Structure 1
Amino acid sequence: MYKYFKKLRKNLEYKKIIKERLISWRKEPVIIRIEKPTKLDRAHSLGYKAKQGFVLARIRIGKGSSKREKPSGGRKPKHAGLTKMTPKMNLQHIAEIRVAKRFPNLEVLNSYYIAEDGKHKWFEVILIDPNHSCIKNDPKLNWICKPAHRKRVFRGLTSAGKKSRVKS
């Protein structure tokens, strides 16, 4: 069934629908809780289940390198170090961290890319409530309830976090 979803995304009509959605998503808040995943096949492959204790959030994140504050002392503009400062994390990992700060009682399971325009990228983040009874009683999911997995996104233990960690 999911292979048909992938074929559908290559369709021109689907691309028009995404363009319309982007227009409405730009007007929404940066982080918004959603009921159903936009890409159902991708969400299921990353561990999403349509049961209690699972929460989905869509986040909009700015593309491009960041710009630092201007230093107060005088110097050549070249040595001010204002532009071309890129973070050591990829945008998906930054998106997961921002969502985790917004929902402090939930743990980030995974995230995936949805769409982008000239200024922004949108990701959907799958969150789990480790205190929910449905999650605690599920033998495949109760690993996230252990103390070792608390605040895992801040330590780079998600898939996007592992990709952006420095390899030594």
Structure 2
Amino acid sequence: MGFYKLVKKAFEKERKERSEIYRNRLIEWRKAPVVERVSKPTNIARARELGYKAKQGFVVARVRVGRGRRKRAKPDLGRKPSKAGRFMSPAKSLQRIAEEKAASKFPNLEVLNSYWVGEDGKSKYFEVILVDPEHPVIKSDSSVSWIAEQRGRAYRGLTSAGKKG
């Protein structure tokens, strides 16, 4: 078995058994800001599957997204909604919302992809892979230089999570 396959199995086992490391991570992540830059990916095997490379111009950010439905905006005047309700399900996935949050936090970077890293009772946590399209290392790498031509990928649904919904 290859190295990344072993890493993948270890990460999955850690999550399924709700190990001490996993629980401590979730406690730390809940206290951290909503969008936080991470020095290296938590699940390196998954990050590399989705296009991450350990080189200049690549950034990983962990994003916290609240689970559950979204509350509708409250009108300043008028009656309360009855049948329509105060809560609604957004037409996009929590992963897509996480990508949009990361794109807003880092406006000079483009979202390449994202993946799930954990969840607790209140939130889901995703790691978003971002790329600097103006970085010389990225421009010279033919496998990711195409990203310079796609601005606002996360907002226009051009990422993998965006295409799914």
What TM-score do the two structures reach when normalised by structure 2? Answer: 0.91
SS in 2 for 1:123: strand
Distance in 1 of aligned mates of 2:74 and 2:145? 47
Q: Is the CA contact (8 Å cut-off) linking 2:8 and 2:46 kept in structure 1?
A: no
Identity of paired residues, percent?
57
- Look up the match of 2:86: 82
Q: Is the CA contact (8 Å cut-off) linking 2:52 and 2:129 kept in structure 1?
A: yes
Residue among 6, 9, 12 paired with 1:7: 9
Give per-residue Cα distances to partners, 1:108-150, cap 9 Å, x unaligned.
Answer: 000000000000000000000000000011111111112xx11
Aligned pairs, how many?
160
- Look up the match of 1:69: 73
Letter in 1 for 2:55: K
Residue 163 of structure 1: CA displacement? 0.1
Residue 73 of structure 1: CA displacement? 1.4
Q: 1 or 2, which has the higher helix percentage?
A: 1
- Look up the match of 1:42: 46
Q: Is the CA contact (8 Å cut-off) linking 1:70 and 1:80 kept in structure 2?
A: no
- Look up the match of 2:98: 95
- Look up the match of 1:26: 30
Distance in 2 of aligned mates of 1:7 and 1:139? 31
- Look up the match of 2:116: 113
Distance in 2 of aligned mates of 1:133 and 1:101? 23
Residue 78 of structure 1: CA displacement? 2.4
Q: Is the CA contact (8 Å cut-off) linking 1:97 and 1:153 kept in structure 2?
A: yes
Letter in 2 for 1:3: K
Q: Is the CA contact (8 Å cut-off) linking 2:40 and 2:60 kept in structure 1?
A: yes
List structure 1 segments (4+ residues) > 2 angstroms apart after TM superposition: 11-15, 69-72, 77-81
Residue 74 of structure 1: CA displacement? 2.7
